[in-house]
Every structure is written in structure tokens, then in C-alpha cells.
Structure 1
């Protein structure tokens, strides 16, 4: 084992974080729990994931339990974690593992990559942490540590390939899973984005960025392009009994499979109220509510104007009618919760 690997593992044995999905030293990790935590942790903080992880395991202790759950129930439990495609793939992957692998996750990276929702990082994390394979999961924490350790000048995201190659040279044959988690811990607690606590870093002596530059200048990044703004009208339609019309979004795409309050298309081009009315799912006399709803996604901002109106009778519609007090029982993404709150307080 290299000196660097031993230094990091010695540090990890002293400083490892106590996390719900992390097994005690010497105990074998459960592939189901490793997979669950890694999917949840994608683009989400550890602090946020902890309670969701515990709730999911309480509801679905095994991969077979999760496979047998209703997708709507899974989506509802996922609310607040964002990126709902992950929840759909979580359910789909559980079904594949149960049906095709008798409830046992495959051990090889190559076969793990064939499962729904599992990419290179997650496959490497499961292979190393759950099965002890020599695999190198590379997330943002690892990229940051490696970029500073080797003082990589190429800018992100072009540097990703180089950083992954450099990271793989560090991974030892033994304790690869512990080493992977140590890299994640080092990036999260010592070699953090805005501060580098070099004085307590096990790799302080050999870090090129510390010796020759400013660690927090790495990884180098391209200037971010400003996010565009899309606009749309959203239709808050109610019946005589006060129930609100909801419909399900297409399975593929943003917020796929989630319930929504119907809207016109989201477009960067301006759209008039008259044009928007053509998208209304039912006929009603609509009034524009004061203010609006603004929400930011990863790649764009969204501004919604809310049109509210009462539908006469009970016309056939593509959707379901839900009483306001029952909205909490449906898998509404944060955006739609903002819309419902605005409509209920303004309308």
C-alpha cells in the first residue's frame, strides 16, 4: 500500500464521520443501504439525506419491499429531495434487482452500470464500499481533493477525465471501500470548497496547491453562464366543492411522474394570457392573481402567473380533483407547493 493511501486511511480510522448508512469498522456493508444512500446523496447534502434515509429504510427495509411499493408512494416519500428522476429510477432499479437478481445486487461495476439510475460514480461506490472491489468513485469532493493535491490547471468540466484518472492512481488494492469514504470525508470536512484546513490534512506535506498556490483556487472552473428565465401561466381550477384539479406530468423529463397544477408550456419567449388560455384543461372564467411564483431549477429560472377560476359542473378532464386539505397526500414537487400556497392565500 502506498504511503499516501496509508496516511489517508490512518486519518480516516481516527476521524471518520458517523453516518446512518456507514457500517462500524470491521463490519460488512449492506449493498442495499449503500445504494440507497448514494442515490439520495446525489446533489443533496448529508444533513438533508439522513432523515429521508431512515424513513425509507423504515418503510422499505429490503430491496424487495421497495420493489413492491407503489411508485406514487415512493415519489411522495421523496418530496424535498428534488431531482425526482432519481426516485423513479430507485423504484425501477429495486424492481430489476428483485426480479432479475433475486434481490441481490451484482458485485461487478460493469453489471451495476446496467441497472436503472446507476452511473459510473454510484457503480464504483457500491462496488468498493459494499463489495471491497478496487474501484474509485469520483464525486465533487474527490475532484476537489485531487485537483488540489496535484494542482490540476485544466478547468472544469473538461478536467473531469484527468481528475478521475489521477484519483484511480491513489486507490489501494486493500480497503478500497474505506479509502473511497475517506476521500469523501476529507473533501467534505477538511478540503472544503471555500476553506482548506491544511493544518489538519493528512496529505498536507505533498499537496501541490498548498505548496505552490492557493488551494481554494482549485478546481479551476469556467465562468458560469447566466441562467435563462422561462415563463408560463398556471391554472388553479376549482369545482363547486372546492376541489383543485391536478394532473400527472409525463414520466420522462423534468419533474417526471409527479403531480402538478396544470400550466401552459414553459418558454423563454413571452406568452400572452390569451395564448395561454388555449392550454387550460377546462373551461372557466379565469382571473389573474396578484404577484406570481418564482422558482429556480438547476439550469433556469421559472416565473409563473397564476390564473384562478371555478369550473361549472363536473366536466371530463385529464387529471384528478383534490380537496386543498388533501394536497399533502399527493406527490407535489416544491414548485407546485409554492403555487398552491400562493393560490390559497391570494385567490
Structure 2
């Protein structure tokens, strides 16, 4: 195979993103494909055999496309692009205009399918391991709907398993009781919307964070509802929250069926609800796997190790 260098013309922003700080991104691409990546100006020069160059080129073009959209490129993005280039999937299409980030783009094909499901269906289940973007993308989608005036409220609910749903015994008002359990969602919303806008909209009642126990007896109309960590909702809680949907409402239910914290894992309502509703008109189900993890690369290896252990010992994953 030919080892003649290949030059890929890129914008300055894309070339900087591909190179990364102290050429860290370029080094990751070199290690992954056994190529030499150089940035002499005006683009990237690749040296190596043609097959390796082809895969590296796909990864570089994926990163360049994201950079040209004004999106920040970090090491997680580089590793995702490398993984997709290896399997020939290329860049995940689509993007989500929202808040101060400008656009939140899917980093894997599974994330792209998830975003499409959120657009196409009033009820979507997002299932998979930690670090796959299930909650963040649901929050981004809901924040976008709220900012564009397509819904009146964004409601996020989680089962407060650690408190046994007995939040009334904790000191403080509802916000002070709830915030410790909503920290991951709070962080996602402030990242997307900014602290000031998040606070203003929360004070106006446009954003509500509440445990599932506080959803009983309500009808949620013209709202986007996110039920996070839903594997820790009981079957009765899941039925209750799913039937809260009112006129103009949409809902995303996210969780990892393999990480149930309930005393009786069989009482988890997430897998049960999916088994009943998968295939029902208006319901979408998006599934993520270990290869969709976009956190630290070690997280994917941890997830795979636990999956292998569960398979070896005959436990459900």
C-alpha cells in the first residue's frame, strides 16, 4: 500500500481543533491509527499506509466538521471520532440549537438516533450506561423547547431513593430538600442556559426540579418532562408519572436498567415500562451501549468489565 503523505485542507479553526493543545489530539489520532499527523499550515498532512490514512482522515473530517460549526472539541470528542472512524460510521449527523452553547451536537450515531426520537415521539425512553449523554441531551432538548417557546415549562424529576422519598423530614424549603438529588441536572441546565437565566426561569416557575413523589395528582400540560435515573422508580411510581402527561406535553425517561438501587431490584419500573410500551404508537426507545460512553475513556472499559462479569455469572446486565 502507498505510504505517500496526504494533505487535507482545513480551516484554521478546524486545524487547531484537530491538533489540540500541545498537539494532544493529533497524538491520540497517531496512536490510534499508526499514522503521522502534521499541521504545516492550511490543513493537516497524514503519513502512513493508505488504510490507516483513510481511517484517520475520517476521524479528522468528523472533528473538522464539528469545529467549523463552532463547537468545542475535547479529548472525549476525539476518542469518539476515532471509534466511529474505525467502524466506518463517520460523524453523527444533526445538531441541536440551544442556549449559550449555540448548538449541542450528537457525538455518536446512538446519540443522533436519540435526538431524532426526542423530536419524533411525545414519549421517549433513553436506556444505557453512565456517560452516554442520555440525561444531558434530554435536558438540552427540553431547554431548547423552553427557550423557543414550544413548551411553557421544563420539569425534571428523579426518584430520591437515598431519602426514601421522605423529604419532609429534611430541613429547609422544597428547593433545599431537592437540590442535592438534582445536582447532575442542575449542572447540565446551568451549562446549557447559564446560571442567571436558569435562576430567573426557575424563580418564574418555568423550570421545576422535583422528586417523583411530588408528581402525584398533577396533570402536566404544555411541558417537557424528564424523568431521570428512572431505574430507581418503582412500577407504581413509573405508571403514576407516565400518566401525568397532559395536553401538549412531552416526556423523556432516562436510566440504566442494570444499576437499580431499590431494595427489591425486580420492583424497578423502567425495564417493566419499556417491556410494555416498546412498539406502542408515539413511544420511542433509544438504547446506548458501552461504545457510546463519551466520558473519560476509562468509563467505557469499566462498563465493559461489569457487563462481562454479569454475563459470566448469569446476572442480568
TM-score between the two structures when normalised by the length of structure 2? 0.24
The structure in which a higher percent of residues are strand is 2
Give the helix-richer structure, 1 or 2: 2
Q: Which has the higher contact order (CA 8 A, sep 6+)?
A: 2
